[in-house]
């Protein structure tokens, strides 16, 4: 059975004290048996304190990025083994901000996905079109090539450690969310694409999250769609009350 998942991408926000405060609020307010699997992704410097503080709670910790190599002369980078050594088993890869500002290509992301999976990590793989692609009616083709070039070399077995996150770039941080119909249309397309590549059993098992201006006020109608299995939340994940309201939208 595929899982409902709500993940908070904290991006480059919150120093140590602010991270500890947000985690304390989350711990106070989270139910013992939440409606969805909950993941939060603090900055690298706050991963270990977050892992320690959330250890015996229903909330797990993910990293926002990772390098594809095991170690070596890659100044400023962090490896899979380093993440695992501080308790982090999940990594977000392919976020549109990494693609846009750090020029991460589909090919590079394929390498990062391989490295994460070789290290028994779970990958939250992000992808999605820009506004121009949608206006030119190229959004389905673009999403198809992002999936194909970064993921479709994987074995069937690997898919149990993949979570997909469709994030239309025009909806990220803009306050403009995809309509429930637009989200369902794309999520159904994604599931069909996975089914065509790997068969319907794997396609039915993979969780497909929506990301882009998801808030307590719109989460319920987005999550109500049959192919939307949760959300990857940016801005609204920085306030415990809002984030947990989104978790409770199932």
Kindly list the catalytic residues. Answer: 95, 167
Tell me: is residue 234 an annotated ligand-binding position: yes
The CB-of-156 to ligand 13P minimum distance in angstroms stands at 27
Q: Which is nearer to ligand 13P, 195 or 238 (CB)?
A: 238
CA distances from 53 to 26, 56, 66, 147, 151 (A): 11, 8, 22, 35, 33
Residues that bind ligand 13P (CB under 6 A): 9, 95, 167, 172-173, 211-214, 232-236
Residue nearest ligand 13P by beta-carbon distance: 234
Rounded to the nearest whole angstrom, what is the least distance from the CB of residue 6 to ligand 13P in the complex?
11
When the beta carbons of 192 and 216 are compared against ligand 13P, the nearer one is: 216
**8 assigned to a ligand binding site:** no
CB of 162 or CB of 214, closer to ligand 13P:
214
- Closest to ligand 13P by CB, 110 vs 165, is 165
Q: What are phi and psi of 165, to 5 degrees?
A: -135, 105
Tell me the C-alpha distance between 109 and 116, whole Å.
10
Phi, psi of 78 (to 5 degrees): -130, 135
Instruction: Give the whole-angstrom CA distance, residue 219 versus residue 137.
Output: 26
- CB 250, CB 38: distance < 8 Å: no
Known binding residue 10? Answer is yes
Contacts of 136 (CB under 8 A, 6+ apart): none
Residue 192, marked binder: no
Residues at the binding site for substrate are: 9-11, 173, 213, 234-235
Residues at the binding site are: 9-11, 173, 213, 234-235
């Amino acid at each position: 059975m595929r899982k409902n998942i709500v993940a908070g991408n904290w991006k480059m926000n919150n120093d140590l004290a602010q991270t500890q405060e947000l985690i304390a609020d989350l711990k106070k307010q989270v139910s013992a048996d939440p409606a969805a699997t909950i993941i939060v992704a603090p900055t690298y410097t706050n991963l270990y304190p977050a892992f320690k503080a959330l250890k015996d709670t229903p909330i797990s910790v993910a990293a926002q990025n990772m390098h594809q190599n095991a170690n070596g002369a890659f100044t400023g980078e962090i490896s899979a083994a380093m993440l695992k050594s501080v308790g982090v088993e999940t990594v977000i890869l392919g976020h549109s901000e990494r693609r846009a500002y750090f020029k991460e290509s589909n090919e590079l992301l394929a390498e990062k996905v391989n490295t994460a999976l070789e290290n028994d990590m779970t990958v939250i793989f992000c992808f999605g079109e820009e506004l121009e692609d949608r206006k030119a009616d190229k959004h389905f083709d673009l999403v198809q090539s992002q999936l194909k070039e970064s993921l479709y070399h994987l074995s069937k077995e690997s898919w149990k450690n993949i979570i997909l996150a469709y994030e239309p770039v025009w909806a990220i941080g803009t306050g403009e969310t995809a309509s429930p119909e637009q989200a369902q249309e794309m999520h159904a397309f994604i599931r069909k694409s996975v089914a065509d590549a790997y068969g319907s059993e794997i396609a039915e098992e993979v969780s497909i999250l929506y990301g882009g201006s998801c808030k307590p006020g719109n989460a319920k109608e987005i999550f109500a769609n049959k192919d939307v299995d949760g959300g990857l939340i940016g801005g609204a994940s920085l306030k415990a009350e809002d984030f947990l309201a989104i978790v409770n939208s199932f």
